Structure 1
Amino acid sequence: MGPYSHSEATRLLCAGTYLDIDFRRQTIEELVEHEERSVAPSLGVDVVPVLAHALRARAREVRTAGWALLIWIAFLAFDLSGIGKGDGTDGGGAAPAPGGPFGSGGFSDYGPGTAYPVTDATEALAQSVPWWLWWAAVCLLLWAGRAAAGLGSAVYSVNEAALRRATGGRRRASQVMVWFGRLLALTYWITALAVLFSGGGNWAAVVFPLLLVVPVGLHRAQVAAVLRDELSRESFATRPRAELPAGERYRRISAALDREQHAELTIYNVYRPFIGAGHPFGVWSFALELKRREDAEPGAGAEPKAGAEPHPATVPVDAGAERRGGAAGRTGSAVPPARAEPAEPAEPAEPAEPAEPAGAPAAPGAPPPSPSGPAAGGGRRLTSRQIIDLVRPRLEALRAAAAETSRDRLKDLEYHELVYLPAGPPRAQVPRDEAAVERHRADAVDEGGEGRRHFLLVRVGAWNEQVVVSVLVRVHTQGGMLVLEVVPHILTPVKPAFRAVDALAEQKQGPWREVVRAVLASPSAGCASAASAVTTAVGFFRTWLHDPASAPPDGPERSVRELGSTQEISLFQEMDISRYVKTVEDRIASGVRDALRAEGYRTDEFEQHITQVAEGGVYIGRMSGGAVATGPGARAQQKITQVDGRKGGDS
């Protein structure tokens, strides 16, 4: 069971699989039909129960569509054969009188020795009207109008008013279709009942539309039971996690999802590397030349104050715990200080080489003197690991202070060190054991590579995991330069329509009320189940044709959490987002500044950059990159290019 299996966002996404057929289809397509893709990082959610409920909801709708199809076949057969119509038969198969449906001379035989003039048009109407086609037109109009309005096409719907508000209202075309469908349905029932009670004998036109209500009503009752009994807030918190169906394929998919969705080693899509984190929010970066202070001694950092604790960057780091920082981020416990190993006995120093006279020419083939060497006033090289190890304690202090003084969500702040890898070997062959992850992390933190990238992820789950703030930090210290990249992302709340599960849990259930709802929902719900069945069949065929097991491996294309998110946030949520991002960025900046001071580097230019960013003077688009301009008259320009139909950033 994952750490977020019972989170509020997970619960609402599970409910959304029953209420939104498009969300359910996209979830199954991404996680099942494209098994070759690694799953996107799941921030604050567990996608395994979401997929399990999506598969269950799809199976229920397919069964409902199967029963509805059988009823439609019977309806069509009875209507086309004339059984049950006022066709001049006696129910035993007697042929009508010669002369057409009205018989010879305007009479029609209805039994031995029985004949009467047909003056009413009801019998002719019953014989000439294709009742199945009329009712099919009613169903298609109501379903098409609902789908065009953006109300979805799921069989079960709780609150159409809430769905309309979530989608912005019905469009004019959908409104016309819905009202025309209702008018056509009213005309159908008035005509069918009038013909039936007038002796037309068109009982099939009345019975079969009512029979179509039965599978829809049973489906609604089953879904309501799941939403009320399994996905209510109280029940979901205590029930075991929903698992995928039995079978080798689903066991393989479930194991891959559990292994990847919360791992600290993630496969990314080159065109959208931060899938799963949400929308970019004020991405910024800058480059700074590392210059030593005039009072800093060559070859050593700044001297610590008397009585101060040793600098974290000078303490040996335990690769299994201190360097990782991920366990503390999950559990909320403080990271224990690493214990220094006893010093090895010093080896006898070799005699120093005689110094070359000033201005002497370099030996042939000798490399030029390094600008960061003692001649340039340099000493120990500042590494990205040292900076990361200084940022982490400040995040711990921020979390501890928030927990002691308030109920702020910063008390639940998490941080992890992530390594992003480009898609390469099949997902099952990517080693994700602790040793492999630690090896990637240790190698990537200071290499500054283009493919493999190391990030410190700081995450704050606010509003019951409805709003997730993620700040990804990357540091370069190569070539005498410090490059700091800060990439905040925001996950917006789950769609409001999915919260209908809470309204259902509190709703008083009445059998007659549910019967009336099933009758009214039957026309559009029957078409919705048929659409779901067709989509399922197409998905199975596409999966068989595509054969994910032999497809080339790829990174994720979509995130389940993002698929179920709305594009709107409230003003309160926007204020909280800004506060969380600024607070985390301040802790990051203070850690970098202290690392520079501890190693004897100047910090005045760095502090100027940070002040400009804090005041909005430097702002880098909304992309994982950007441009920075400082000084009078300078300009920062961001250019967006199209790469294979996708947007890519170029600054």
Structure 2
Amino acid sequence: MPATPENLRHQAGPVPGDATRYLCAAAWLDRRFRAQLIEELVEHNFRIPAPSPGTDLVRVLHEALTARRWEAWTGALCLLVLVLGSPFFGVPTVVLALAAVALLGIFRGAGTDRLDHRLGLEVERLEVERLDATRRVPRGRQRSTTGAGLVRRLLAAVAVLVAARLVLVGYYEFRSWREYDYVPGLSELTEDWTGYLDPRYSWYLLRDQGISAVLVIVLPWLVAAALRYRIRRRLAAFTDPDPGGVPPPEPKGPRAAWLYGRLREQQSGPELLYRKEAPLVGLGAAGRSWRMTFELRPSADRAAGGRAPDPIDAAALYRAVAARVRALAHDPAYPEDPLRGLTVTDRVFRPSLRHDDPGTWLGAMSGRAGGQVLLEPAWADLLSRTGHERLRHYLAIRVGSWNEEVVVTVLVRATTRGGLLYLEWLPYALGPVAQAYHVIDLLGHRSDLEHALNALGWSARSLVGDVGIAVGQLRQVRASRRRTARLRARYRHLVRSGYAVDYAPRLSVRELGASDDFQNIFQAHDVQRFLNTVTQRVFSAVGDELRARGYDSGAFEKQAQSITNVNNGGVQVVGSNVHGPVAGGSGSNVNLNEGPGT
């Protein structure tokens, strides 16, 4: 095979889904993820959304609302079948059908908190573990020792007794038909209350109402299977790298249209909010930060010539760093390198507790440029010069890799006050989407007939769980709408009364669906490579700017070398001598033999 870029992509395999597609699948697969997403973005819609790098919030929210609406309609249809079936088929028929379905659910373990994947055998072979409700980390299957488990075992024992009675009734009836010419009918058995205790009553009820009961079971089964079929086709569309395979998000009603438009405006803006408990929500896990401070002294050449160095401020340093770091994205020698997607933008963090409406202050420092919302250069320079303690201006360097599943964000801040240069570095790494949501990759390309057969089979196997989940969505939708209306009214009251409102987000959709660990060692190495590369480029940009303006860069270079050594797991000793062994890095230690002089 010739070594060409096309063959290189072929050797790399098919393009996997990106973070947006996996999170859209999570809205269908994980009911807890869906509920938390709707709570944050819909019920508390007055909050400013947290940044979700590489993720289309509108797309993910639309899938969550669509999934909840489909399941709620399925639950309504199932209830309609049971309610309308009571007078048509008879109450005994419905009771008998519910008893049969309930007994089936007891043995199948219906009502557990497993991940609701709804995909079928492909996912079962992957052995997707259920998620913990609070920590959202995979955990192994555990046997239930709670009261619910004891109740389930008790009901299972009752089911065994009922089944045994039906077997005995069938045997008794068979003997009676063979040995006697006359067998009493159902009306004769129920002339008094003792007839209901006769075993033959159970047999007559099963014989006369059995077909109707089966029909009552079949109708919800077909409704639940239709939902599974639609979900499988929807999830299969997320496996196609062609964006046209998934329909665009169309809001249902003016309220949803307003919410979608608001999220599109706010999800990628440069103005972010912070609160005391969680200042930076949405960037991922914090890495090893560093800070350096040194005196700005003239270089030896300028001092010997009696010339003062050129003035320098934070705005000039930001421009120098941005130019040098952006050059990493324009290297034509490596067209497939993730650094080609590197971006450098300005970010400003402001307090979230305000007395006035966000429309009067949010976005006032930003403007549109080429389809993007960016911080105005005049505001960026002003923030760099003033250094307001409640407004923090950073230069945000972002690198997305593995189809935006691994995102590295570095916040750089510089200030020059009183002849001192202060440089701050805050790295964050956002891990990949949880592996449990990658199960859609196993669907592959299947026909509609295969999806239909799979849906029918798995709906018959998990009928109780499907119907219970769908009916439960009705209650959840009603409760969510009541909370949304109550929170909206409370927010309006607070604004009208002049109370302060906290507009900061409580969670990030991207962080909510992220895994705590990398999927492989290559992702961890890529993160480290990005951080080391950007670190060196920032150091070189600041050092060159200092030298070009006539400053002595010796103190800066010493501190930069110390930071580089420590970040690489080594030990840097400045200004002193060390006699004896030295160990550095995570988990390092020194073992000394016991003896004189040790």
Query: Normalization by structure 2: what TM-score?
Result: 0.73
Q: CA–CA distance in 1 between the matches of 2:379 and 2:125? A: 51
Q: Does the residue aligned with 2:80 lie in a helix, a strand or coil?
A: helix
| CA distance, structure 1, for counterparts of residue 460 and residue 546 of structure 2 | 72
Alignment of 1:398-409 (within 5 A): 398-401=328-331, 403-405=332-334, 407-409=336-338
Structure 2 Cα separation of the partners of residues 253 and 143 of structure 1? 39
Q: Do the aligned residues in 2 keep the contact of 1:51 with 1:244 (CA within 8 Å)?
A: no
2:222 counterpart letter in structure 1: V
Partner-residue secondary structure (3-state), 1:489: strand
The 10-residue stretch of structure 1 (512-521 or 215-224) with the greater mean CA deviation from structure 2 = 512-521
Matches within 5 A, 1:83-122: 83-84=92-93
Q: CA deviation at 1:240?
A: 5.6
Match of residue 142 from structure 2: 171
User: Cα distance, 1:474 vs. partner?
Assistant: 0.9
**Match of residue 236, structure 1, among 243, 249, 274:** 243
Counterpart Cα distance in 2 of 1:266 and 1:491: 17
Shift of 1:615: 1.4
Counterpart CA distance in 2 for 1:539 and 1:520 is 30
| Residue 55 (structure 1) shift | 0.7
Determine whether 1:575 maps to 2:525. yes
Partners of 2:226 and 2:455 within 8 A in 1: no
CA contact (8 A) 2:329 2:341 kept: yes
* Superposed displacement of residue 507, structure 1: 4.2
Deviation at 1:499, TM superposition (A): 2.0
Aligned pairs for 1:219-234 (under 5 A) are: 219-228=227-236, 230-234=237-241
Q: Which residue of 2 aligns with 1:555?
A: 504
Q: Distance in 1 between matches of 2:563 and 2:405?
A: 27
Could you tell me which residue of structure 1 aligns to residue 351 of structure 2? 422
Cα deviation, 1:278-332, whole Å, max 9, x if unaligned, reads 111222222222222233259998xxxxxxxxxxxxxxxxxxxxxxxxxxxxxxx
- 1:397 maps to which residue? 327
Correspondence for 2:112: 146
Does the Cα contact within 8 Å between 2:103 and 2:156 map onto a contact in 1?
A: no
Task: Tell whether the 8 Å contact from 1:593 to 1:603 is kept in structure 2 after alignment.
Answer: yes
Deviations 1:561-590 (A, max 9, x none): 111111121211101110011101111111
- Equivalent of 2:562 in 609, 612, 615: 612
Pair 1:610–1:193, CA change in 2 (3 A): farther
Aligned residue number for residue 185 of structure 2: none
Change (3 A) 1:74 1:245: closer
- Answer yes or no: is the 8 Å Cα contact 1:162–1:497 preserved in 2: no
| 8 Å Cα contact 2:52/2:511 also seen in 1 | no
Letter aligned with residue 205 of structure 2: G
Matched, 1:434 2:358: no
1:445 aligns with 2:384: yes
Q: Distance in 1 between matches of 2:411 and 2:158?
A: 56
Counterpart for residue 251 of structure 1: 257
Aligned-partner Cα distance in 2 for 1:168–1:196: 46
Matched, 1:479 2:418: yes
Distance 1:164 1:234, change over 3 A: closer
Looking at structure 2, the residues matched to 174 and 159 of structure 1 have their Cα atoms a distance apart, in angstroms, of: 27
- Name the aligned partner's letter for residue 404 of structure 1: A
Q: SS at 2:407's partner residue?
A: strand
**Which of the two has greater helix per residue?**
2
Larger radius of gyration: 1
Amino acid aligned to 1:159: V
State how far apart, in whole Å, the 2-side matches of 1:299 and 1:15 are.
67
- Do 1:269 and 1:557's aligned partners in 2 also have CA atoms closer than 8 Å? no
Whether the 8 Å CA contact 2:118–2:232 is kept in 1: the answer is no
**Distance between the aligned counterparts of 2:333 and 2:531, measured in 1?**
20
Give the structure 2 partner of residue 265 of structure 1.
Answer: 271
CA distance, structure 1, for counterparts of residue 118 and residue 443 of structure 2: 16
CA distance in 2, matches of 1:223, 1:138: 24
Change (3 A) 1:514 1:272: same
What secondary structure is seen at the aligned counterpart in 1 of 2:144? helix
Query: How far 1:382 moved relative to its partner?
Result: 1.9
CA RMSD of aligned residues (A): 3.7
Flag the 1:602–1:246 CA change in 2: closer, same or farther, 3 A. Answer: same
CA displacement at 1:633 relative to structure 2: 11
Residue from 278, 282, 290 that aligns with 1:276:
282
Q: How does 1:69-218 map to 2 (within 5 A)?
A: 69-73=79-83, 83-84=92-93, 132=98, 135-136=101-102, 139=105, 142=108, 146-147=112-113, 151-153=114-116, 159-162=123-126, 164-165=128-129, 167-173=138-144, 187=160, 199-202=203-206, 203=210, 206-218=214-226
Distance 1:7 1:300 in 2: 62
Tell me the residue number matched to 2:582: none
Residue 20 of structure 2 is aligned to residue 10 of structure 1: yes
Q: Per-residue deviation at 1:406?
A: 5.1
The amino acid across from 1:212 in the alignment is: P
Cα deviations by residue, 1:387-433 (Å, 9 ceiling, x for unpaired): 111112211322222x3235221122111111222223433332345
List alignment gaps of at least 5 residues for structure 1.
1-5, 86-128, 302-377, 620-627, 635-651
Work out the CA distance in 2 between the residues paired with 1:568 and 1:491. Answer: 10
Please state whether the residue corresponding to 1:241 is helix, strand or coil: coil
Please say if residues 220 and 518 of structure 1, whose CA atoms lie closer than 8 Å, have aligned partners that are also in contact.
yes
- TM-score, normalised to structure 1, is 0.68
